A = this chain, B = another copy of it.
């Protein structure tokens, strides 16, 4: 088990020595570590090595400064200045909160961003201040659309958080693909086939062969035309309206030339609950809804109904108490990073 504070200290050290200032390193560390504690290991410290590679390559600007380029009473467009995705995105959600505090709701669109990690972090940030928060972003194409044979849109994630009056918000963080690519790769590594409905092959036909991804296959959108449509709405709010790159014009944060900016787009919405309803009334109504969901008669074999995010909050509490059991692929990336960045970790990563 890796103590959360020791992992955080490592991340912070690496970010500081790649040139991030104290505050940006703190923010980025907070996002990545929170994500790991939720058990969302695909989007946590595993990716730090890739970000550092871009920081070293210049495609990410360690000393960049996100700034508001244009704004109105309830909106702003932010140029993230090719900073680490977590820096620009946290800045943007805080800007959305400030707008919503006076106007009731705030929309902030971001261009010149990069991979922002777990969308849920930013939604939770809003919910912690008693706002309903929504976060979304575009990405390089990895998902087909109905009728295409290859990838057309990104797995464009969306997350929302709803304050509950309790310690943790309702929190959903989802990709708009049927499944994450990582699940397909995992099946391939185990030599297993996958269910129909996850991928299509190079001809655009359904396939159960996970080894085809990514060269000869693409992911299917969640729920067919519905996921396609939601991904396109996310592309609109994150990419089209913000001035960021769109769809195939976005660069990969992990594969493309690390000296180039990826120009991801993102969007953040915040709704100021207290402007519309007393905090206690809203909390009581959320609790009534939660209670109704939790107490619903259970399916055969089920003993509990979870709220969105509930499993992740329980994992986080356990991680803060007992430490993190990072998967081997994450540990390997961290070991490589420690070596490359010459940070002494005293066997922290095995």
Interface size on A, residues (CB 8 A): 79
> Hey, which chain B residues are within 8 Å of A104, CB to CB?
72-75, 107
- Chain A residues 228-287 with CB under 8 Å of chain B are 228-230, 232-233, 235-237, 239-241, 243, 246-248, 269, 271, 273, 275-277, 282, 285-286
Whether, in the assembled complex, A223 has its beta carbon less than 8 Å from a beta carbon of chain B, the answer is yes
B236 near A132 (CB under 8 angstroms)? yes
Which of A18-26, A40-48, A304-312, A330-338 sits within the interface? Answer: A304-312
* A246 → chain B closest CB, angstroms: 5
- Chain A residues 45-104 with CB under 8 Å of chain B are 70, 72-75, 77, 102-104
B271 near A107 (CB under 8 angstroms)? yes
Whether, in the assembled complex, A212 has its beta carbon less than 8 Å from a beta carbon of chain B, the answer is no
Which of A29-37, A142-150, A186-194, A320-328 sits within the interface? Answer: A142-150
Whether, in the assembled complex, A339 has its beta carbon less than 8 Å from a beta carbon of chain B, the answer is no
Which of B109, B160, B223, B306 has a CB less than 8 Å from the CB of A146? B306
List residues of chain A with CB under 8 Å of any chain B CB. 70, 72-75, 77, 102-107, 109, 132, 134, 144-150, 152-153, 160, 162, 170, 172, 174, 178, 200, 203-205, 222-223, 225-230, 232-233, 235-237, 239-241, 243, 246-248, 269, 271, 273, 275-277, 282, 285-286, 288-289, 292-293, 296-302, 304-308
> Hey, which chain B residues are within 8 Å of A153, CB to CB?
293
Which of B149, B226, B227, B298 has a CB less than 8 Å from the CB of A147? B298
Which of B77, B107, B275 has a CB less than 8 Å from the CB of A105? B107
> Chain B CB within 10 Å — which of A153, A289, A292 has the most?
A289
Q: Assuming the A-B contacts A162-B233, A222-B223, A232-B170, are A147 and B240 also in contact, with contact meaning beta carbons closer than 8 angstroms in the complex?
A: no
> Hey, which chain B residues are within 8 Å of A148, CB to CB?
293, 296-299, 302, 305
> Closest 9 interchain pairs by CB?
A204-B299, A172-B229, A75-B104, A74-B74, A74-B103, A147-B302, A147-B305, A72-B104, A229-B308
* A291 → chain B closest CB, angstroms: 11
> Chain B CB within 10 Å — which of A107, A150, A243, A304 has the most?
A107
> Hey, which chain B residues are within 8 Å of A282, CB to CB?
240-241
In the assembled complex, the Cα of A305 lies from the Cα of B145 at a distance in Å of 8
In the assembled complex, the Cα of A247 lies from the Cα of B233 at a distance in Å of 26
> Hey, which chain B residues are within 8 Å of A74, CB to CB?
73-74, 103-106
> Hey, which chain B residues are within 8 Å of A146, CB to CB?
302, 305-306
* A238 → chain B closest CB, angstroms: 12
> Hey, which chain B residues are within 8 Å of A299, CB to CB?
144, 147-149, 200, 203-205
